[in-house]
Structure 1
């Protein structure tokens, strides 16, 4: 397996850690009481403390960290031709950068608005951000070509271009629809419930395409 590009990995890790470092720097300047919900007149009808902010930021940090480790350690690269491997690896890093830059800027933006006393419903914006990311990944999966770096890389999709195409069509639709549902659900999901829902959703998004590719393989085998 090709050695990782360490400068790029360090940059990705810096993007991963940047929002938490920023939060640590401005932590003492955050308001003690933070409005977390507003009525139709624009006045707060629910407030929270710094502990809710910390819980939300930890959730976003672990979401980002999970994506980093999934992309960093899962890719299978053995047996791919040299020129094609170089092209796929470049695309693979580009996707990783886009995801981590998005999450870093999005998380940093929430922290900044909180530090400025802006009237935001932080959990709503957090779940909307995650939903947008999932939906965009879904759109990307639908047109992803077979490779050993990114996508639903099961033993069965890697053996058959047809199974790869059908699995990614299904996975792309699943991720896209899930992202849209999360965006809509963000308008009524409370923070703690939403965190547990997203953990369950993450398991479903990973498991169903894997199972689907296995069933396609066995169907083809008769």
Structure 2
């Protein structure tokens, strides 16, 4: 699998939009501005970087993630990664969209605009979970993406059933995150929804897959 396989036309457009937003940030945010890059459970920013480092952080993280995905596909035999092609071509634009939203919000903060970053992140994360929830049931056994457990990798039927269940739970979790972000600004409530949205599909999928393997 090549980098061209990972970047659909939509992904390329979003990548260009992220690059444009980053360049715009250097123009719109005054030099020397200190920008928040991390928020604690109280909803208050507790991690900061100078403007240049803050604006390059998300593009850098995305490049690193893509490099790791590409390396993973190169280290496995083609037949072990073929089933990941469809999912990755959907996930990459989703990750780019998430980075773009957070980058735009960071620039607004640097321009002095009031932004509730926690709500924005939870809303964007919820939409990403909805996207992932739709992709997982369509995935095929592979060594790169999906619910890769010893029991799912050993049985195509187990893989299909487990990824279908986890996909449904992630979709519901994503909807819950998005609705919570629209209805409340309480960081503690939002953290609880996100934590449940991550752990429930993970734990339920693992237990379900294991029980299927024991039948």
The TM-score with structure 2 as length reference comes to 0.62
Check whether the contact 1:29–1:115 (CA below 8 A) recurs between aligned residues.
no
Q: Does 1:136 align with 2:125?
A: no
1:89, 1:170 → 2: CA distance?
A: 18
Structure 2 residue aligned with 1:216: 212
Specify every segment of 5 or more residues in structure 2 that has no aligned partner in the other structure, as ranges: 4-14, 36-42, 49-53
Specify every segment of 5 or more residues in structure 1 that has no aligned partner in the other structure, as ranges: 7-14, 33-47
2:140, 2:185 → 1: CA distance?
A: 36
With over 3 angstroms needed to count, the CA separation of the structure-2 counterparts of 1:131 and 1:53, relative to structure 1, is farther
1:113, 1:98 → 2: CA distance?
A: 22
Structure 1 residue aligned with 2:198: 202
1:11-62 Cα shifts (integer Å, max 9, x gaps): xxxx9xx9xx99x975877699xxxxxxxxxxxxxxx97x3685xx9xx97x
Q: Does 1:126 align with 2:143?
A: no
2:65, 2:31 → 1: CA distance?
A: 29
State the aligned residue count.
Answer: 184
Match of 2:187 among 165, 172, 191: 191
1:128-187 Cα shifts (integer Å, max 9, x gaps): 001101111011112212222210111111222221111111101100000001111112
Q: How much does 1:119 deviate?
A: 4.6
RMSD: 4.5
Q: How much does 1:205 deviate?
A: 3.0
Q: Which protein is bigger by CA-based radius of gyration?
A: 1
Q: How much does 1:94 deviate?
A: 3.6
